A and B are shown apart, each in its own frame.
Chain A
């Protein structure tokens, strides 16, 4: 393994990467699919590719996953 693997990984881009706008558009479906079937990355490979390299969208994904899994996301 080279000593600059993390740098190489950062520079590597995935042509499937859907970008932030598409990811936001589909994030609700992606999260529900993941919770229901655990295969969101297979159903939405472009979103999965994007989440592999966009930290802000990962934050949103994790936040939404937690919101709808927990009590905060339940209407009173």
Chain B
């Protein structure tokens, strides 16, 4: 994975739009001006978090007041991040867009934690029987993909590190949500994604080296 250039040329020197400048000024002030700005940004982030929780309620095993509690918790945590980081806001977007990002991210965190309320979620077992369904492999054409899946299974066993194998099994074979794994392992989304990214690259290279996949394209069946 690579870093990207975050700044369009000259953007770091861009003046904040008046509304964003007012938010920054008030949130970095002290006393009642600061407190009132915190209340206003909290109200904004509660609305955003509630809307996001409603949008993602299909991923949650909770409903009603518990959904609202989750949104409130996400907004509370997002406000803490916004207030702590407002000094780093440079105006490359509107302040409200920047602040809403934290509310959306905190909803993701909370949704990930709630994943474990589902019954019988296995994390460490390797349930290879789920793989065909996970990738839409037609059982009627098992003669075509059976060899590739067997080679993939060997590559998972032989080529991945223990940590990569654990992450691969949890996400790919057992259907654990990535953010749920972040919560379970007290890790970060970036770290888990990077582990899976490296595992995917290793597995693909192994299948290519053994002739199961073409280097630049899928082998034709």
Q: Is the CB of A32 within 8 A of B203?
A: no
Q: Is the CB of A60 within 8 A of B108?
A: yes
Which of A44, A57, A75 has most chain B Cβ within 10 Å?
Answer: A75
Residues of chain A with a CB closer than 8 A to B152's CB: 7
Residues of chain A with a CB closer than 8 A to B104's CB: 60, 63-64, 67
Q: Give Cα distance in the complex from A1 to B131, angstroms.
A: 19
Which of B48, B108, B207 has most chain A Cβ within 10 Å?
Answer: B48
Interface string of B89-107 (1 = CB under 8 A from A): 0001110111011011101
Which residue of chain B has the shortest Cβ distance to A2 in the bound complex?
B221
Q: How many residues of B contact A (CB 8 A)?
A: 60
Q: Which of A7, A10, A21, A55 contacts B148 (CB 8 A)?
A: A7
Distance to closest chain A CB from B133 (angstroms): 11
Q: Is the CB of B193 within 8 A of A19?
A: yes
Residues of chain B with a CB closer than 8 A to A56's CB: 108, 177-179, 189, 193
Q: How many residues of A contact B (CB 8 A)?
A: 52
Q: Is the CB of B137 within 8 A of A3?
A: yes
Q: Is the CB of B44 within 8 A of A7?
A: no
Which of A50, A57, A63 has most chain B Cβ within 10 Å?
Answer: A63
Q: Is the CB of B96 within 8 A of A75?
A: yes
Q: Give Cα distance in the complex from A2 to B152, angstroms.
A: 16
The yes or no answer to B119 lying at the interface (CB within 8 A) is: no
The yes or no answer to A42 lying at the interface (CB within 8 A) is: no
The yes or no answer to B51 lying at the interface (CB within 8 A) is: yes
Q: Which of B3, B92, B107, B172 contacts A63 (CB 8 A)?
A: B107
Within 8 A of B (CB), among A17-76: 17-22, 24-29, 31-32, 43-47, 50, 54-57, 59-60, 62-64, 66-68, 70, 72-76
The yes or no answer to B30 lying at the interface (CB within 8 A) is: no
Which residue of chain A has the shortest Cβ distance to B182 in the bound complex?
A56
Q: Is the CB of B100 within 8 A of A64?
A: yes
- Interface, chain A (partner B; CB < 8 A): 1-8, 10-13, 15-22, 24-29, 31-32, 43-47, 50, 54-57, 59-60, 62-64, 66-68, 70, 72-76
8 shortest interchain CB distances as A-B pairs: A46-B4, A11-B204, A28-B93, A72-B51, A21-B190, A2-B221, A20-B190, A63-B104
